[in-house]
Amino acid sequence: MANLNKVMLLGNLTRDPEVRYTPKGTAVGDLGLAVNRRVSDGNGNWSDEVTFVDVTVWGTNAENAQKYLTKGRGVFIEGRLQMDTWEDKASGQKRSKLKVVAEVLQFLPDGKGGGQGGGGGNYQQRSGGDGESHRPSGGEGYSQPSRSSAPPQGASAADPGDYREEEDDIPF
């Protein structure tokens, strides 16, 4: 039987990122994420149902999150679920917590109209399972996508000759 452990979340940070370092010097960041869902009560009234998720990011993603992200900022996270278990030192009870380990961290525009300074751009980094940052393009580090006339990622450019103005024959 096949298995799949994949999570995609879009939400807002509930606190500033916290970063610590492993003994080998790898950055580990902890993020708190709030994900909202609009729910109707059946009488035409709507409310937000909020889910709080703990997220761990590794390597350059953790360092950049601490450098550029603040509480309230929107992020897209793609990763996997991981169950942490430990024994509570005070009570001796076994404890567990389900969290997300981020493999992709994408900063969303801050909504203030600025594309510079506070990281208002759209940044994305992919992290491998070893905690180190890997970028499909082969470039390391943190860079802003070029603002060329290239189509958005995942789209193909249409040939200008493919578009012809014609009258619609649609009867409505």
The residue ranges of every structural domain in the chain are: 7-162
pLDDT tens for each residue of 142-154? 333 444 444 444 4
How much is the pTM? Answer: 0.64
Beta bridge partners of 133: 127
Architecture, CATH, for domain 7-162: Beta Barrel (2.40)
Six-digit token string for 119? 């990281």
pLDDT(18) > 70:
yes
Q: How far apart are CA 30 and CA 55, in angstroms?
A: 6
For residues 36-48, give the mean pLDDT.
89
The burial class, CB within 10 Å (0-12 / 13-18 / 19+), for 31 is: buried
- Write out the H or E segment, with its range, that includes residue 59: helix 59-68
pLDDT at 140: 35
For residues 47-75, give the mean pLDDT.
95
Kindly state the greatest CA–CA separation across the chain: 76
pLDDT(52) > 70:
yes
